[in-house]
A and B are shown apart, each in its own frame.
Chain A
Amino acid sequence: MSVLTLKNIAKSFGATEVIKGIDLRIDEGEFVVFVGPSGCGKSTLLRLISGLEQADAGEIILDSEIVNDHTPFERGIAMVFQSYALYPHMTVAENMGFPLKMVKEKPHAIAEKVNAAAKTLQIDQLLDRRPDQLSGGQKQRVAMGRTIVRDPTLFLFDEPLSNLDADLRIEMRVEIEKLHKRLKATMIYVTHDQVEAMTLADRIVVLRDGVIEQIGAPLDLYDNPVNKFVASFLGSPKINFLSARVVDVGEGAATLSLRNGARFVVPMPTGDVKKDDALTIGVRPEDFAISGGDFSIPFDLELQEQLGPVSYLHGSSNGEKIVAEHRVRGKILKETASTLGVNSARIHVFDTSGRSVRHGRKGQET
């Protein structure tokens, strides 16, 4: 277990600045997930931590020691790659024992540790097979086994589940969670799948264009995103954005109007907005209701996706696309859903730059 501190880390590839001065502290035993769209620098940041890439500037500190010049092995990290990176010419046992062989452990000690790890991951019957004789899930377990045999200080996962099918992905996600609970090790996990991020992380780090947009506990980020980007990145289906205008500003509250003329009052810090400001409001799909709410918006239902206990209603309101969650079984009529109610206390408000000026659930449901 380790404490990892990144101080002003920067990395460029040629003229392209990929990581732009990142500061981050990851505590002992914490499970931190880096999320962000493709090209945001999350994998590069992981590779910088691993030592597979060298930082151009800044310090990487592991347990109070600056490790910028240390090799990946000297850093005491273990890494699971997106492609698993199992050695194709070695058996499962040889793959898992390779890190121990590198530190010249005795053969019987290697066999003992490999067997123990294999039992934990339920792959003890596969030890004599080669990687091309394994399924995707089995390969993933072997890759994890290779990391746990050497008792590393820090685990790094680079999109380890992205090549698995949906069922296996859920199964392996649970396995990783169990592994974290059992080992109590510090783990960093890179993914672009926000479901993985929400379910696995103690804290999520949202990255965009090489900078950290927001760090926080999954629900904290979901409820209190600092900007439109974070709000839209977390949550499935995505948050809905609607154009609005400030029509009146009062003490600790503002009156906003939507395109359809609907007006509502939202509590808001005084001074953040002024009259006639153009804003964007964000409403999570689950915060719409067929009936109820402080105000309603017209809704043109185009499609209903029924997923069992929940339905997603796809449509538009004054030309703006809307996805609403409906928690009643059965088909809903277009006429029944001609308006959607919204609780003004639950809406997020963003200014023209995308910065959040009001969170939807501040102080609620914690």
Chain B
Amino acid sequence: MTSQKIKKNRSRRIVRSSRWRRLKNRFVSSWPWVVISGFLIFALFPVYWIVLVAFRPRGDIFQYPAALLPTNLTLDNIRFVWFGSPTNEPVIGFLGNSLLISVVASVIALSFGVCCAYALGRFRIGGSFLSMWILSQRFLPPIALVVPLFLMFRQLGLLDTHLGLILIYSVFTIPIVVWLMMGYVQSAPRELEEAAYVDGAGYWTAFVRIALPVLKPGLSVAAVFTFIFIWNEYVLAFQLAGNKVATITVYLPRLRSAIAELYGEIAAASLLSVLPAIVFAGVMQRFLVRGLAFGGLK
């Protein structure tokens, strides 16, 4: 083989291998996107379907083959749940109940939970036993406690009241807040409060004026978790209330009537029911600013 041929072959091999390398690189850099896109489609398709069904006339919901794109849209379902019908109350009352109970119970759980987390995280009160005991309150599923709670509520006159649900949700979510906030408290710089003590602040002042603003990102995470947990809770809302005081989660199954499954209406109500939680999470997101605590250090 002449030297020219050898050179030609070598340059061809180089071109081929660089092409192969480029392809390989492209695949390596794009495969995470492929996986993420697949997961997103899997996770978001049901949400998309709810939106679609909420705006479809009843006849189109079960058409075969299913139309994946929006066609023939209507506001009838939204109107039905918003204004109600002779057999169904308007959704607004249930949304109001859910909102009232979720907000008040969240505020109570956050207030008690953050104080408790601060005491446990900063001053090691009760060692690891007390914090574990608090967490153990969440070991049992709510359904396991429904019977004793029902009896207690009946005795106390708390059945089917806002106060009853607010109390029970506060109690149920305090452990979540405590455990979420304990991590934030432990990782927050202790020197800030110590500086406040030196500057003349007492424990309470140092907690309220120095520690709490530093813990704001953690508080907003805890608020979102607590609010969404309470907003979505069904078992306790159904067992301990559900007649005079019914939340949105109790309202949704009522739309399954004996004559027909009101799928369009259920989808419309579901859509309305997730909106406040989305708005709340969006509002709290702006407090999730990391790094605020560390601006004053080093």
A188 to chain B, nearest CB (A): 13
Q: A102-B205, A132-B291 are in contact. Are A85 and B197 (CB under 8 A)?
A: no
Q: Is A169's CB within 8 Å of the partner chain B?
A: no
Q: Is B198's CB within 8 Å of the partner chain A?
A: yes
Q: In the complex, A84 Cα to B195 Cα: how many Å?
A: 9
Q: In the complex, A50 Cα to B191 Cα: how many Å?
A: 13
- Mark each residue of chain A from 39 to 58: 1 if its CB lies under 8 Å from any CB of chain B, else 0: 00000000000111000000
Residue of A52, A81, A88 touching B292 (CB-CB under 8 A): A88
B298 in contact with A50 (CB, 8 Å): no
Q: Is B157's CB within 8 Å of the partner chain A?
A: no
Q: In the complex, A132 Cα to B292 Cα: how many Å?
A: 8
B297 in contact with A83 (CB, 8 Å): yes
Q: Is A87's CB within 8 Å of the partner chain B?
A: yes
A85 in contact with B297 (CB, 8 Å): yes
Q: Is B214's CB within 8 Å of the partner chain A?
A: yes
A162 to chain B, nearest CB (A): 10
Q: Is A146's CB within 8 Å of the partner chain B?
A: yes
Binds B, one of A69-77, A213-221, A307-315: A69-77
A84 in contact with B196 (CB, 8 Å): no
A83 in contact with B191 (CB, 8 Å): yes
Q: A99-B199, A99-B200, A146-B199 are in contact. Are A81 and B194 (CB under 8 A)?
A: yes
Q: In the complex, A301 Cα to B292 Cα: how many Å?
A: 53
Q: A83-B191, A87-B210 are in contact. Are A77 and B293 (CB under 8 A)?
A: no
B198 in contact with A73 (CB, 8 Å): yes
Q: In the complex, A71 Cα to B295 Cα: how many Å?
A: 27
Q: Is B294's CB within 8 Å of the partner chain A?
A: yes
Chain A contacts for B197, CB-based, 8 A: 51-52, 71-73
- Mark each residue of chain B from 190 to 215: 1 if its CB lies under 8 Å from any CB of chain A, else 0: 01101111111100010000100110
A85 in contact with B195 (CB, 8 Å): yes
Chain B contacts for A146, CB-based, 8 A: 195, 199
A131 in contact with B191 (CB, 8 Å): no
Residue of B201, B213, B296, B297 touching A102 (CB-CB under 8 A): B201
Residue of B198, B205, B214, B298 touching A84 (CB-CB under 8 A): B298
Chain B contacts for A87, CB-based, 8 A: 192, 195-196, 210, 213, 296
Q: Is B189's CB within 8 Å of the partner chain A?
A: yes
A77 in contact with B198 (CB, 8 Å): yes
Chain A contacts for B189, CB-based, 8 A: 83, 85
In A56-93, the 8 Å CB interface with B consists of 71-73, 77-79, 81-89
Q: A102-B200, A102-B201 are in contact. Are A88 and B295 (CB under 8 A)?
A: yes
Summarize A's interface: helix, strand, loop or mixed. loop
Chain A contacts for B194, CB-based, 8 A: 52, 72, 81, 85
B214 in contact with A88 (CB, 8 Å): yes
Q: In the complex, A150 Cα to B201 Cα: how many Å?
A: 14
Q: A88-B214, A89-B292 are in contact. Are A79 and B200 (CB under 8 A)?
A: no
Q: Is A103's CB within 8 Å of the partner chain B?
A: yes
Q: A73-B200, A88-B214, A99-B200 are in contact. Are A81 and B296 (CB under 8 A)?
A: no
A213 to chain B, nearest CB (A): 28
Chain B contacts for A136, CB-based, 8 A: 298
B183 to chain A, nearest CB (A): 19
In B51-97, the 8 Å CB interface with A consists of none
- Mark each residue of chain A from 103 to 119: 1 if its CB lies under 8 Å from any CB of chain B, else 0: 10000000000000000
A90 to chain B, nearest CB (A): 8
B274 to chain A, nearest CB (A): 33
A69 to chain B, nearest CB (A): 14
Question: Can you give 28 A-B contacts (C-beta < 8 A)?
Answer: A71-B197, A72-B197, A73-B198, A73-B200, A77-B198, A81-B191, A83-B298, A84-B298, A85-B189, A85-B194, A85-B296, A86-B296, A86-B297, A87-B195, A87-B196, A87-B213, A88-B292, A88-B294, A95-B296, A98-B196, A99-B199, A102-B200, A103-B200, A132-B292, A132-B296, A136-B298, A146-B199, A150-B199
Closest 10 CB pairs of A and B: A132-B295, A102-B200, A86-B296, A85-B195, A88-B296, A99-B199, A131-B296, A85-B191, A88-B295, A89-B213
Q: Which residues of A contact B (CB under 8 A)?
A: 50-52, 71-73, 77-79, 81-89, 95, 98-99, 102-103, 130-132, 136, 139, 146, 150, 163
Extra contacts, 7 of them, besides A87-B213, A102-B201 (Cβ < 8 A), are: A73-B200, A81-B195, A85-B296, A88-B297, A130-B295, A131-B295, A132-B291
